[in-house]
């Protein structure tokens, strides 16, 4: 019995020792984990400081490399007669360059973070497409339903997919990427261009926005009242637009006139709006342009009313949303 009790005691002692060892190992692992996390955070902060310092040094070097600008001072009336009123101050090139470099170095720490922050706009840095870009495909519906959807996309609001929002986002995005490269920030503090996103935005403009503009320009020639001025072209207002009633009758007559001018047969889809689709109208517009010899240039259509005014308002709204005015463009 004594031996059994001793064996039980020994077994309990071993279990306790094992538990203590496990606790020690667990504590060591926790300590190592905390150290690794602290090191990672420290390294991240160091990388940010290094990128900012590198950008500051680049700007300071560029400023030092610029040739000094000659200063001027007032002169006596006698000197003014010979020099036109102002003469350059005599200063050595080395002194002027040194002063310029010193001033640039003093201002670099304050100016560079603002410049770097400007390129952190979500329009440039985010991998996701801006919500204003039209990324959804047009559903296969009768032509007049598709045209109604296109008109609804002619709003100037932000936060919703739209025709002019897509054009404005793409323009500012491309300007931002070009500026980022010109300032040498791509791959550094400003990040690197997302070529996949660039291609996607380019495809939206090329394959969707420009195609819609051609059809909407034709539609505006027949039903201009469907389009609202910029002050009224909000997402909520444009969502109410629908081709029906008298507009349906007028548009059907206009399509038949286009078909007659091109000599299309009576059973052609363009003569039957329920059978026609957006690509049917696009084919008619292209055939008409080929017959008249007038090319469908989207840029010319965008320069005409009301497209010009709607695009300008959408650009202002997009700039305001993305706080992008400071690094790419200017709105009067």
Measured CA distances, 92 to 67, 69, 101, 103 (Å): 12, 11, 14, 17
Is residue 152 within 8 Å of residue 241, measured between CB atoms? yes
pLDDT for position 9: 64
Q: What is the pLDDT, as a whole number, of residue 105? A: 41
In a domain, 218, yes or no: yes
Q: Is residue 152 part of a domain?
A: yes
pLDDT digits (tens, 9 = 90+) for 148-199: 999 999 999 999 999 999 999 999 988 888 887 776 655 444 445 688 899 9
Of 86-90, 147-151, 160-164, 219-223, the range with the lowest mean pLDDT is 86-90
Domain that includes residue 314, residue range = 143-241+297-322
Residue scoring higher pLDDT (114 or 153): 153
The answer to whether residue 223 is domain-embedded is yes
Residue 273: CB atoms within 10 Å = 20
| Three-class SS state of 134 | coil
Contacts of 213 (CB under 8 A, 6+ apart): 163, 298, 301, 302, 307
Is 90 buried (19+), middle (13-18) or exposed (0-12) by CB count in 10 A?
exposed
310 in a domain, yes or no? yes
**Overall domain count for the chain:** 1
**Percentage of the residues of the chain whose pLDDT score is greater than 90:** 45
In a domain, 185, yes or no: yes
Q: Return the C-alpha torsion angle 10, 13, 19, 20, nearest 10.
A: -140
What's the pLDDT score for residue 317? 95
* Residue 67 predicted with pLDDT over 80: no
Strand partners, 188: 191
The arithmetic mean of pLDDT across residues 101-126, rounded, is 51
Q: Please give the pLDDT value at position 311.
A: 97
In whole angstroms, give the CA distance from residue 117 to residue 245: 53
Q: With cut-offs at 50, 70 and 90, classify the pLDDT of residue 147.
A: very high
Please indicate, yes or no, if residue 188 is contained in any of the structural domains.
yes
Residue 246 forms part of a structural domain = no
Q: What is the pLDDT at residue 85?
A: 38
Q: Which of 34-43, 176-185, 242-251 has the lowest mean pLDDT?
A: 34-43
**Mean pLDDT: which of 41-55, 102-116, 207-221 is highest?**
207-221
What would the mean pLDDT of 201-217 be, rounded to a whole number?
96
**Does residue 47 sit within a domain?**
no
Instruction: Place 289 in a pLDDT band, splitting at 50, 70 and 90.
Output: confident
Mean pLDDT of the chain: 75
* pLDDT > 50? residue 111: no
| Cα–Cα distance, 329 to 164 (Å, whole number) | 17
The pLDDT of residue 235 is above 90: yes
Q: Which residues contact 75 (CB under 8 A, 6 or more apart)?
A: 83, 85, 86, 87
């Amino acid at each position: 019995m004594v031996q059994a009790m001793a064996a039980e005691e020994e077994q309990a002692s071993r279990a306790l020792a094992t538990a203590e060892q496990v606790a020690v190992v667990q504590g060591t692992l926790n300590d190592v984990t905390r150290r690794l996390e602290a090191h990672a955070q420290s390294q991240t902060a160091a990388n940010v400081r290094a990128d900012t310092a590198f950008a500051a040094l680049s700007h300071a070097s560029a400023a030092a490399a610029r040739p000094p600008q000659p200063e001027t001072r007032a002169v006596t009336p006698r000197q003014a007669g010979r020099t036109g009123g102002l003469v350059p101050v005599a200063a050595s090139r080395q002194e002027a360059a040194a002063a310029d470099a010193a001033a640039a170095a003093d201002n670099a720490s304050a100016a560079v973070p603002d410049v770097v922050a400007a390129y952190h706009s979500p329009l440039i840095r985010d991998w996701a497409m801006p919500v204003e870009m039209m990324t959804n495909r047009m559903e296969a519906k009768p032509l007049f339903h598709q045209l109604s959807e296109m008109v609804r996309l002619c709003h100037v609001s932000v936060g919703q997919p739209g025709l002019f929002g897509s054009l404005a986002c793409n323009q500012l995005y491309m300007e931002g990427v070009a500026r980022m490269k010109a300032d040498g920030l791509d791959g550094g503090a400003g990040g690197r261009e997302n070529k996949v996103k660039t291609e996607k935005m380019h495809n939206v403009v090329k394959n969707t926005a420009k195609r819609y503009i051609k059809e909407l320009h034709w539609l505006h020639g027949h039903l201009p009242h469907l389009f609202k001025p910029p002050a009224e072209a909000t997402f909520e207002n444009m969502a109410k637009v629908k081709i029906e009633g008298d507009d349906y009758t007028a548009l059907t007559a206009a399509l038949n006139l286009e078909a007659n001018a091109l000599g299309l047969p009576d059973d052609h889809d363009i003569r039957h709006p329920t059978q026609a689709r957006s690509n049917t109208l696009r084919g008619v517009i292209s055939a008409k342009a080929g017959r008249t010899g007038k090319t469908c240039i989207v840029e010319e259509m965008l320069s005409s009313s009301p497209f010009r005014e709607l695009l300008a308002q959408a650009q202002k709204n997009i700039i305001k949303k993305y706080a992008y005015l400071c690094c790419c463009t200017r709105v009067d």
